[in-house]
Structure formats: structure tokens, C-alpha cells
């Protein structure tokens, strides 16, 4: 058989076979003992499941450098009837992968989108104040949140929600910001983070705890293909046009900047790659 036909056929067979695997119910992965003053990275998740879809760098910081990962669930989705169920799935996912969890309000926030920001400034400001309070209380070294062109209206809304909150915090607050992508690709990421098969397998395992969502659309099974394509894109967008591709199989892309009272500043010139042989905390070291 033509080897490329065999490659494609075998990939399709494995994808079909994976649809028969169980969802949720797996034991939690070992979690390192964290120092009381461990640096924190906050993951501002537009929906339950985003925390592990884009959380590769957070997982590496937890395991390699002893950072505490706190998933901030900004919303519990727009379907009221599913919110309680999604919260239970989210708790199980975070327990499995080793992330702490906090909610932006008792049941998350509602109406987090650019239209609400424009048309209802008073309610929007109330949501901004909640996020600013979380940032003050947690004092993170770094945060993850979607970039401003991530297509989905809630993802874009969370970008502006976090950005507006950062602008409230004044001259004593600074942190690294890592913007993420899922629905819409970034034009100018500057960090490609390698994920080993173990990293990606663990993220997908945790993602299966969102049973109601992946039964509707088994997107957990397409994560490997997406992260393979991130290596293709990242080789040129991060490494430079015409650059050689690193020997990564899986990767996620981010845009890293330093937020200060003056706004965003570049953390480095050009792009960086983070292979699995380099500790994530060494790249995102104290300033």
C-alpha cells in the first residue's frame, strides 16, 4: 500500500476507535506539592472546557516549576439548564488535571460579549469590578485569556473584560499576559509551547470530564490535529517566515506581553519556542 494512504487510513481508524473510549471517571493525575508562596497563573476561561483546551503552558508551569494554576470560570455557558451540570463537570476536570478553581460570581457571569460592553456600560462595569477584584486578591505572576479576535463572542468578551479590569488596577499591579487562541487564529503569536504526548494525553483525559459537551461534539478527539497544525503555523509565525520547523509534534501558541501601569510592553523581541526540555518557569522568570 502507498505509505501515505496507509498513514491517512490508520489515522481515520484510530479516530473512529477513540470515539468508543470512556468519558470522565479517570483518577486524578499526581500533583506536585506547591509552596505556600508559589507563583500563580490565572486562566480566565470563557466557558467550562477552555481551561484545558488552551492550558498547555499552565500545565507545564504547574508540573515543571511549581506554579499554582487557578482556573477562573468567567461563565458557565449560556444555557441555564446546563449550568449546574457544567459546573460539576468543571470541578471534576480541574480535580483531574490539578488546577484550582474559582468562579466569577456564584454562577459565573452572564452576557460577556462586545455588544453588552457597548450597550450596557453599567452592568459591564460591575463584571469588570469582579474580575479586577480577583486579580487584586490572587496577585498572579501571569494570566491566560483569549485574544481580541478569537471569533466566539464570549471569548472576545472575556478579552475585553480582562483588559478593562487590568486598566482599573493602577500603578502597583503588573503581570505577564499570555493571550490564547482557539476559535480564531492569532496573526502574531510570539510563543510556541511544545506539549509532549503525555501532556496532551492528560489534557484530553481531563477534557473528557466535560461529558455533556464532548458527547454533543467530540472535539476532544481533534485536539491532536489542531496542535499538530500549531507546529506548522508556529514555525513561521513565531520562528519567522521561511524558518525551519522545530522537532515538535504538538504545540500551543500564545502572545506574551508584560502589563504595567503604562499598558502593554514587549517581553522580548521576535518569537520564542519552549521545548519540553526547558522548564516553563525559566522562560517566564521573575522580571
pLDDT digits (tens, 9 = 90+) for 24-61: 999 999 999 999 999 999 999 999 999 999 999 999 99
Write the burial class of residue 222 (CB in 10 Å: 0-12 exposed, 13-18 middle, 19+ buried).
exposed
Q: Residue 270 domain-assigned? A: yes
Q: Residue 14 domain-assigned? A: no
Q: Residue 196 domain-assigned? A: yes
**pLDDT confidence of residue 1:** 74
Q: Residue 283 domain-assigned? A: no
What is the span of the domain harbouring residue 113?
A: 38-274
Instruction: Write the CATH number for 205.
Output: 3.40.50.10320
Q: Residue 20 domain-assigned? A: no
Q: What's the whole-number mean pLDDT along residues 227-250?
A: 95
The DSSP output letter for 140 is -
Question: Confidence band (pLDDT; 50, 70, 90) for 287?
Answer: very low
Q: Residue 156 domain-assigned? A: yes
Dist. CA 166–CA 157, nearest whole Å: 14
Q: Residue 236 domain-assigned? A: yes
Asked which of 18-22, 75-79, 121-125 is least confident by mean pLDDT, the reply is: 75-79
- How many helices (DSSP H) and strands (DSSP E) are in the chain? 11, 9
pLDDT digits (tens, 9 = 90+) for 75-93: 999 888 999 999 999 999 9
Q: Residue 192 domain-assigned? A: yes
- Domain total in the chain: 1
Dist. CA 265–CA 257, nearest whole Å: 6
Amino acid at each position: 500500500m502507498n505509505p501515505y494512504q496507509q498513514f491517512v487510513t490508520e489515522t481515520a481508524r484510530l479516530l473512529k476507535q477513540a470515539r468508543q473510549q470512556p468519558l470522565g471517571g479517570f483518577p486524578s493525575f499526581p500533583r506536585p506539592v506547591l509552596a505556600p508562596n508559589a507563583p500563580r497563573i490565572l486562566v480566565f476561561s470563557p466557558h467550562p472546557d477552555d481551561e484545558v483546551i488552551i492550558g498547555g503552558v499552565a500545565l507545564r508551569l504547574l508540573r515543571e516549576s511549581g506554579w499554582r494554576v487557578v482556573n477562573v470560570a468567567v461563565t458557565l455557558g449560556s444555557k441555564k439548564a446546563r449550568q449546574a451540570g457544567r459546573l460539576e463537570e468543571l470541578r471534576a476536570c480541574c480535580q483531574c488535571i490539578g488546577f484550582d478553581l474559582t468562579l466569577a460570581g456564584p454562577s459565573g457571569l452572564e452576557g460577556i460579549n462586545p455588544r453588552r460592553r457597548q450597550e450596557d456600560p453599567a452592568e459591564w462595569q460591575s463584571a469588570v469590578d469582579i474580575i479586577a477584584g480577583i486579580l487584586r486578591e490572587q496577585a498572579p505572576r501571569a494570566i491566560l485569556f483569549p485574544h481580541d479576535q478569537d471569533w466566539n463572542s464570549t471569548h472576545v468578551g472575556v478579552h475585553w473584560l480582562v483588559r478593562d479590569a487590568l486598566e482599573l488596577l493602577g500603578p502597583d499591579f503588573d503581570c505577564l499576559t499570555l493571550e490564547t487562541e482557539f476559535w480564531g487564529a492569532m496573526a502574531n503569536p510570539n510563543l510556541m509551547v511544545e506539549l509532549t504526548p503525555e501532556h496532551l494525553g492528560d489534557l484530553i483525559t481531563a477534557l473528557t470530564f466535560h461529558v455533556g459537551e464532548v458527547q454533543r461534539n467530540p472535539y476532544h478527539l481533534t485536539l491532536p490535529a489542531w496542535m499538530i497544525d500549531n507546529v506548522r503555523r508556529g514555525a513561521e509565525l513565531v520562528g519567522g517566515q521561511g524558518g525551519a520547523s522545530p522537532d515538535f509534534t504538538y504545540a500551543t501558541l500564545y502572545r506574551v506581553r508584560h502589563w504595567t501601569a503604562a499598558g502593554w510592553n514587549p517581553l522580548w523581541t521576535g518569537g520564542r519556542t519552549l521545548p519540553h526540555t526547558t522548564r516553563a518557569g525559566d522562560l517566564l522568570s521573575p522580571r
